[in-house]
Chains A and B, each alone.
Chain A
Amino acid sequence: MTTMTIAKAINEGLRATLSNNPKSLLMGEDIGPLGGVYRVTDGLIGEFGADRVVDTPLAESGIIGTAIGLALRGYLPVAEIQFDGFVFPGFNQITTQLAKMHSRSNGNLTVPVVIRIPYGGGIGSIEHHSESPEALFAHTPGLRIITPSNPHDAYWMIQQAVNCQDPVIFFEPKRRYWLKGEVDTESAGPAEDPFKAHVVREGTDATVVVYGPLVPVALAAANAAAEDGRNIEVIDLRSISPIDFDAIEASVKKTGRLVVAHEAPTFGGIGGEIAARISERAFHSLEAPVIRVGGFHMPYPVAKVEEDYLPDIDRILEALDRTFAY
């Protein structure tokens, strides 16, 4: 066991990937000598050289598009998009090309591209630097989307993403980059399957489903609720596509109540999908409607008011109050 931050865990995971697979390579803006704007690729160009850690021209469509070409040639590219809000110049390549290549080739071609995207708010940044666009990609068949919430998952999930033969978007909770935790670099243990949700706090009275940056928020809310005598179960989704509905269903059948929280706007979001599915699967177990907590239907607001936008402990507690009111 080693204690490290999420940023360091991803760095170590990428180092392990580059060491273990000669066909893997990293590409993106400023990922070379600078080590990325968040230093996630720090030191890697020195170890693996400029053929394996590629500083690219400043062009997101070009980054994703050339990653697709490299994958077609048998490489395992890990492309970094510098910030969530800058993925959109590459959106066409991701949705019309990357996601469909295997299907449209009748299964003859595979494009095992990983796209790393730091996402989410809470860092007081300027516009386009705090967004959570995961639902746009989850709506696209052919893609897989995962997001770690702790260093151990981060270390293993980035490697699992590279080993997956499908394209994977790896959303990194940027405000948690400096969150520390224990990492077992010898064994993935419970992190063996990146597409399974984890119960990170067991409870009996209500279930809160979260992922990425909101996992610590939900745990804090659960602890606060415990002071009021409510025993809250918290699920870290880990995978946004596919979603481990079995895990949520099992929890809800136990607790009877469900709150889903994410930073992305509530409307058309992951929470809505979970609410609908769980209503179908566990209707008779639900004691209350599924409550969603998320961003408002507005462009991500300026940093000085982002506290009013982002789901926090109180917003989750308020949602729990509402579900217990039934």
Chain B
Amino acid sequence: MGATHLPSTEFDGTELDDQLEAQAEATLGVPPTEMVQLLGPDGRLGTDSVFSEYAERLDAEKLRGFYADMAAIRRFDQEATALQRQGQLALWVPLTGQEAAQIGSGRASQPQDYIFPTYREHGVALTRNVDLAELLKQFRGVSNGGWNPKDTNFHLYTLVLAAQTPHAVGYAMGIQRDQRLAEAQGVEGSPEPKAAVMVYFGDGASSEGDVHESMVFASSYNAPVVFFCQNNHWAISVPTAVQTRIPLSNRAKGYGFPGIRVDGNDVVAVHAVTEWALEHARQGNGPVLIEAFTYRVGAHTTADDPTKYRESSEEALWREKDPLDRLEKYLRAEGIADEAFFAQVAADGDELAAYIRKSTYESDAPDIRTAFANTYVEAHPLVAEELAWFEEYSAGFAGEDEGEGAGR
């Protein structure tokens, strides 16, 4: 790939990854993995022989938009964490630190693309126009995903790690067939825009067999799918070194498609690399693996305690690479955004937080009858029998205080 990528040994700040690189080089002769970076922690824009071209297409409005998105989702994350602490949510999965990886990649997708997230992709959801209040329903225990994926092409969260990766490949195989069917039928006029699929997973999930099988299928059928791995360095308490002995992006070589490591805290580089990868896939050139090298600054979930397994100094090192700070520096230095812009972003964030708070308080439990109704598409005698029993049983509680009986 490009020429000016910084070797991660100069960048990552984690000894573990340095060791991995050194080991890979010593035992396998693998050179240090280059990492695409355009906007460094100092807020200066570098160059890259391949990806600068993509960065140059970004106008001031887009760059301001990246910042506004990242600030919004960070504010959302803080609010959701607070809601969990107040007992309004059962659990929350924070994304702080990964905003650039998610906003950069999500903003590189096009409406016709289909996205399969894991469960931390709140930033990607924002870029797909998912109502963020719907995201919280899963964590409040009132829905397993409140949005209709058909409206946004943003699939439901998947909690069984990596189980969504073969779905993405199958979906991409469907896109291939749609295109071939359309070609065979000689569809005239303006054809559907070419589409690709992007699937998110993490360094922890990269060990799951489904990731391997997905990559085999994707490669065999040259499916238009981008595997977007956010290497946030910690699978709950287990470091990346336990999941892999080589940089994750290198794994793509074994499957026969490109693998790119990108600075996951650099929204400009993530956007560029993802645009390239999605276009590569849409044009029929097959899958791409992107490893976004980032860091989960907070806990795995609100039930986690990172002080048990990692040094706070490590978190501090990564805070210096903060994705928002570096873009703010750049926007200010280039005169792209002024104080009024940042004030507006902060005000918008407060408004979003207020909306999230209000909609969460108002988000009530559904009627269990909807669960009866949605277990099967077609009529099912056992479900009907059990529902009839439930209605009869519930009717026996009629007149009792709300909430004490089984019926509502």
Is the C-beta of B86 less than 8 angstroms from some C-beta in chain A? no
Is the beta-carbon distance between A65 and B156 smaller than 8 angstroms? no
Contacts of B380 in A (CB 8 A): 242
Is the C-beta of A181 less than 8 angstroms from some C-beta in chain B? no
User: How far, in Å, is B165 (CB) from chain A's closest CB?
Assistant: 7
Stretch at the interface among B170-178, B278-286, B355-363: B170-178
Q: Which of A72, A97, A106 has the most CB of B within 10 A?
A: A106
A117 to B158, CA, bound (A): 26
User: How far, in Å, is B135 (CB) from chain A's closest CB?
Assistant: 14
Partner of B167, one of A25, A65, A144, A243: A65
A56 to B220, CA, bound (A): 9
A212 to B407, CA, bound (A): 41
Partner of A57, one of B170, B217, B377: B217
Is the beta-carbon distance between A62 and B373 smaller than 8 angstroms? no
Is the C-beta of A68 less than 8 angstroms from some C-beta in chain B? yes
Is the beta-carbon distance between A108 and B160 smaller than 8 angstroms? no
Contact with A along B186-225 (1 / 0, CB 8 A): 0000000000000000000000011001101100100000
Contacts of B172 in A (CB 8 A): 69
Contacts of A142 in B (CB 8 A): 375-376
Is the C-beta of B3 less than 8 angstroms from some C-beta in chain A? no
Partner of B148, one of A103, A108, A195: A108
In the complex, which residues 202-254 of chain B have their Cβ closer than 8 Å to any Cβ of chain A?
209-210, 213-214, 216-217, 220
Contacts of B155 in A (CB 8 A): 72
Chain A interface size, as a band, is: 35 or more
Chain B interface size, as a band, is: 35 or more
Contacts of B376 in A (CB 8 A): 102, 142, 144, 166
Is the beta-carbon distance between B181 and A22 smaller than 8 angstroms? yes
Q: Which of B114, B146, B381 has the most CB of A within 10 A?
A: B381
Contacts of B143 in A (CB 8 A): 106
In the complex, which residues 84-129 of chain A have their Cβ closer than 8 Å to any Cβ of chain B?
89, 92-93, 96-97, 102-110
Partner of B217, one of A62, A109, A110, A242: A62
Is the beta-carbon distance between A96 and B160 smaller than 8 angstroms? yes
In the complex, which residues 35-89 of chain A have their Cβ closer than 8 Å to any Cβ of chain B?
51, 56-57, 59, 61-62, 64-75, 77, 89
Is the C-beta of A268 less than 8 angstroms from some C-beta in chain B? no
Is the beta-carbon distance between A166 and B374 smaller than 8 angstroms? no
Is the C-beta of A141 less than 8 angstroms from some C-beta in chain B? yes
Partner of A65, one of B149, B163, B220, B374: B163
User: How far, in Å, is A59 (CB) from chain B's closest CB?
Assistant: 4
Is the beta-carbon distance between A69 and B163 smaller than 8 angstroms? no
Task: Knowing A59-B216, A59-B217, say if A103 contacts B156 (CB, 8 Å).
Answer: no
User: How far, in Å, is B243 (CB) from chain A's closest CB?
Assistant: 19
Is the beta-carbon distance between B209 and A61 smaller than 8 angstroms? yes
Is the C-beta of B28 less than 8 angstroms from some C-beta in chain A? no
Is the beta-carbon distance between A66 and B169 smaller than 8 angstroms? yes
Count, A-B residue pairs, CB within 8 A: 141
Is the beta-carbon distance between A106 and B163 smaller than 8 angstroms? no
Contacts of B258 in A (CB 8 A): none
A68 to B116, CA, bound (A): 13
Task: Knowing A75-B174, A105-B148, say if A65 contacts B377 (CB, 8 Å).
Answer: no
Contacts of B371 in A (CB 8 A): 103
Is the C-beta of A165 less than 8 angstroms from some C-beta in chain B? yes
Partner of B170, one of A69, A92, A110, A246: A69
Is the beta-carbon distance between B150 and A97 smaller than 8 angstroms? no
Contacts of B332 in A (CB 8 A): none
Select from chain A the residue with minimum beta-carbon distance to B180. A51
Contacts of A103 in B (CB 8 A): 144, 371, 374-375
A74 to B192, CA, bound (A): 16
Is the beta-carbon distance between B169 and A69 smaller than 8 angstroms? yes
Contacts of A165 in B (CB 8 A): 377-378
Is the beta-carbon distance between B377 and A166 smaller than 8 angstroms? yes
Contacts of B158 in A (CB 8 A): 97
Contacts of B49 in A (CB 8 A): none
Contacts of A217 in B (CB 8 A): none
A245 to B217, CA, bound (A): 42
A59 to B221, CA, bound (A): 14
Is the C-beta of B264 less than 8 angstroms from some C-beta in chain A? no
Contacts of A107 in B (CB 8 A): 370, 373-374, 377
Is the beta-carbon distance between B167 and A69 smaller than 8 angstroms? yes
Is the beta-carbon distance between A97 and B163 smaller than 8 angstroms? yes
Is the beta-carbon distance between A65 and B213 smaller than 8 angstroms? yes
Is the beta-carbon distance between B173 and A70 smaller than 8 angstroms? yes
Contacts of B377 in A (CB 8 A): 102, 107, 110, 165-166
Contacts of B374 in A (CB 8 A): 102-103, 105-107
Is the beta-carbon distance between B378 and A66 smaller than 8 angstroms? no
What are 24 A-B interface contacts by the 8 Å CB criterion?
A61-B166, A61-B209, A61-B213, A62-B213, A65-B167, A65-B213, A66-B166, A66-B170, A70-B170, A70-B174, A73-B173, A73-B174, A75-B174, A92-B160, A92-B210, A97-B160, A102-B375, A103-B371, A104-B156, A107-B374, A108-B150, A110-B377, A241-B382, A242-B381
List residues of A whose CB falls within 8 A of some B CB.
22, 25, 51, 56-57, 59, 61-62, 64-75, 77, 89, 92-93, 96-97, 102-110, 141-142, 144, 164-166, 195, 241-246
Q: Taking A72-B174, A109-B156 as given, write out 13 further A-B residue pairs in contact, using a Cβ cutoff of 8 Å, ordered by the A residue number.
A: A25-B177, A51-B177, A61-B213, A62-B217, A67-B170, A71-B170, A72-B170, A73-B170, A96-B163, A97-B158, A110-B377, A142-B376, A165-B377
